[in-house]
Amino acid sequence: MPKLTPKENYLRLSRGEMPEYIPTFTMMTPTADGEMVVKIFNPNIFGENHNGPQGGKDIWGVNYVANEETGYAALPEPNNFILGDIDDWEKVIKAPAMPDVDWEAFAKKDIENSKIDRNRTGVMLSAGYSPFQQLMAFMGFNEGLCALYESPDTVKDLTHFMLDFYMPIIEASIDAYKPDIFYLSDDTASKYNPFFSPEIYRDLFKPVYAAMAKPALERGIPIQFHNCGHCEAFVPDMIDFGVTYWDPAQPMNDILALKKQFKGKLVVCGCWDWMPPDTWPEVSEEYVRQGVRDVIDKYAPDGGYAFCGAALGRASETIIGQVNKWVKDEVYNYGRDFYNK
Amino acid sequence: MAKIDELKTAVESGRAKIAGQLAQEAIDEGSKPADVLSAMVDAMGVVGEKFSAGEIFVPEMLVAAKAMKKGMEVINPLLKGADAQSLGKCIIGTVKGDLHDIGKNLVSTMIGAAGFDMIDLGVDVPIEKFKETIEANPDVKVVALSALLTTTMQSMADTAAALIPLREKYGFKMMVGGAPITQAFADEIGADGYSVDAGAAAVLAKELVS
């Protein structure tokens, strides 16, 4: 019987220690035993929710849409971008009025409403600002990516304007929530390549991430970074500005090489991608379970690893739900005694 | 260095602000409009190869296409007859149910830069929209389908199946791409070609019509 709670087990990784069993970082849903290593908090002080199935505008005026095929995850409405020319950002991008927030009361209520037991489930506080994704949301990928290359100084002006807006929120929320992990997120890569060069990453985005990470690091709080896709070229810089946990660490990256290079400093969460079989939507339970075991066998033996991943699909597809039940169950049962064999 | 060579370098390096001027100077220097066009298409071919090799990234490819567009604004009015003929029409769209446009836009940019006249139907395109557009453009050479989600692969398969009778009628080629798409899937649904990225897509489109 494990002695460590899911939270304690997961936090061991941040100190470079071996976990007692395979931790599972689930972004939102509980594991097979109904527990979560952490609960993610996004302090919604502006009272908006554009990320739901209904879509809507974010606080900067970007319109989001969702449909069944994305599992009702919202994305900026195509061809309806609010910023056509980066040089116009000061005319277009206006900071919303900052609400008067009693942060202590807000955090207390938010955590109470989540009904988590903080001894068993950690508090993961989200930074709330993803500079690359936000720029793409403003401009679309074509114009946004051109701006990175053609007008880097103007992009910096915009990202730092927004950083100045978010930093007081970040500092106040860290003090109020007292998180166990601080969470940064920015998807900067596609399946095959980063969207831009490491030089652009270091020049335009790394300073923003570093500034957001700093208040947490100064308080001894570890950093987790969400970055999908083939982004291994950025991982050394992530380590440099204080990241410990990286999710979802997808297998198109050379994860074993990164684990070796940053042993004791980097925790890879994931390493598993849902690959529907050729027979899809017919899928065998054993196919799913074996895939999970293969990933754990490959990436977990020397620690520095947490499982993370779920099959994504249409909300109406019941087989997706079944696949995810098998995944969670296999991670739980196979991972429970993995380090005691 | 001759102005036409300077233009080629400018397109390769994405210097849109000077590409138009260099195109005009190349013409003034005596280069034929068709040769200026050919130089820019070659430059974009180099850009596509570098992108596929991982030597450059999407922004560099996009600014190169932007530079070529500036050059084209200068030489388009000068191209006549055979010189003005493009590689043909290419209808492109992201299939029904899929709202993603980045991959489709990049492919559209690169195929356009390779010399095709693009008809971009956008995202979440119903089968009927593809069929109507093909019927309205019976001289179309390439139809390109994009899907970014595993959940919309079936939509791509359905679209391809619906377009196969029109392909037999009009003789166009059908190419597919997107993050979850593989060569095996492309073969399974009857596509004529699959490319892994935007640079390779431009090469493929040219091969399909050659």
B59:A149 CB<8 A = yes
Average of pLDDT values for B78-106? 85
Asked whether the predicted pLDDT for residue A203 surpasses 90, the reply is yes
Site of tokens 């604004």: B73
CA distance B82 to B19: 24
Confidence of residue B193 (pLDDT cuts 50, 70, 90): very high
CA distance B84 to A128: 51
- The H or E element containing residue A336 is helix A318-336
Confidence of residue A274 (pLDDT cuts 50, 70, 90): confident
- What pLDDT is recorded for position B118? 94
CA angle A104, A110, A113 (to 5 degrees): 135
Q: In this complex, is the C-beta atom of A191 within 8 Å of any C-beta atom belonging to chain B?
A: yes
Which residues in chain A touch residue B97, judged by CB atoms under 8 angstroms apart? 67-69
What are the backbone dihedrals phi and psi of residue B194, each rounded to the nearest 5 degrees, phi first? -140, 140
Q: In this complex, is the C-beta atom of A70 within 8 Å of any C-beta atom belonging to chain B?
A: yes
Q: In 3-state terms, chain A is what percent helix, strand and coil (to 5)?
A: 45, 10, 45
pTM, two decimals, is 0.89
Asked whether the predicted pLDDT for residue A28 surpasses 80, the reply is no
- What pLDDT is recorded for position A1? 67
Tokens representing residue B23 in the block: 């195109």
The predicted-structure confidence for B4-58, as pLDDT tens digits, reads as follows 999 999 999 999 999 999 999 999 999 999 899 889 989 998 998 998 888 999 8
- What pLDDT is recorded for position A271? 94
Q: Compute the residue count for chain B.
A: 210
- What pLDDT is recorded for position A51? 80
The ipTM assigned to this model is 0.82
Evaluate whether B172 touches B140 at the Cβ level (below 8 Å).
Answer: yes
In total, the C-beta contacts within 8 angstroms joining chain A to chain B are: 82
Confidence of residue B77 (pLDDT cuts 50, 70, 90): confident
Q: Over pLDDT 90: what percentage of chain A?
A: 80
Q: In this complex, is the C-beta atom of A73 within 8 Å of any C-beta atom belonging to chain B?
A: no
Which segment, A56-70, A161-175, A299-313, is predicted with the most confidence on average?
A161-175
Q: Is residue A180 classed exposed, middle or buried when 0-12, 13-18 and 19+ CB atoms within 10 A define those classes? A: buried
Asked whether the predicted pLDDT for residue B97 surpasses 70, the reply is yes
Q: B66 or B164: whose pLDDT is higher?
A: B164
Average of pLDDT values for A113-121? 95
For residue A256, how many other CB atoms are within 10 A of its CB?
14
Return all residues near A104 (Cβ < 8 A) that are at least 6 apart.
A176
Confidence of residue B85 (pLDDT cuts 50, 70, 90): low
Asked whether the predicted pLDDT for residue B82 surpasses 70, the reply is no
Evaluate whether A195 touches A236 at the Cβ level (below 8 Å).
Answer: no
Pairing of strands B116-120, B140-146: unpaired
Residue (of B185, B135, B178) closest to B157 by Cα position? B185
Q: Pick from A64, A141, A230, A252 the residue to mutate for testing the B interface (most B CBs within 10 Å).
A: A141
Q: b/e for B33-50, b at 16 or more Cβ within 10 A?
A: bbebbbbbbebbbebbeb
- What pLDDT is recorded for position A281? 80
Which residues in chain B touch residue A148, judged by CB atoms under 8 angstroms apart? 59
Asked whether the predicted pLDDT for residue B194 surpasses 80, the reply is yes
CA A35 to chain centre: 19
- What pLDDT is recorded for position B149? 82
Q: In this complex, is the C-beta atom of A309 within 8 Å of any C-beta atom belonging to chain B?
A: no
- What pLDDT is recorded for position A204? 98
CA distance A13 to A89: 41
- What pLDDT is recorded for position B83? 65
| Of A68, A194, A312, Cβ closest to residue B57 | A194
Q: Over pLDDT 90: what percentage of chain B?
A: 67
Q: Give B12→chain A minimum CA distance, Å.
A: 14
- What pLDDT is recorded for position A195? 94
Residue (of A114, A122, A119) closest to A36 by Cα position? A122
Asked whether the predicted pLDDT for residue A92 surpasses 80, the reply is yes
The predicted-structure confidence for A287-321, as pLDDT tens digits, reads as follows 999 999 999 999 999 999 999 988 887 767 788 88
Exposure on the CB side of residue A340, measured as CA atoms within 13 A: 11
The predicted-structure confidence for B104-136, as pLDDT tens digits, reads as follows 988 998 898 888 999 999 999 999 999 999 999
- What pLDDT is recorded for position A100? 95
CA distance A307 to A24: 5
Average of pLDDT values for B156-175? 97
- What pLDDT is recorded for position B110? 87
Q: B20 or B197: whose pLDDT is higher?
A: B20
DSSP A76-131: EPTT--S-S-GGGHHHH--PPPPP---HHHHHHHHHHHHT--TTTSEEEEE----H
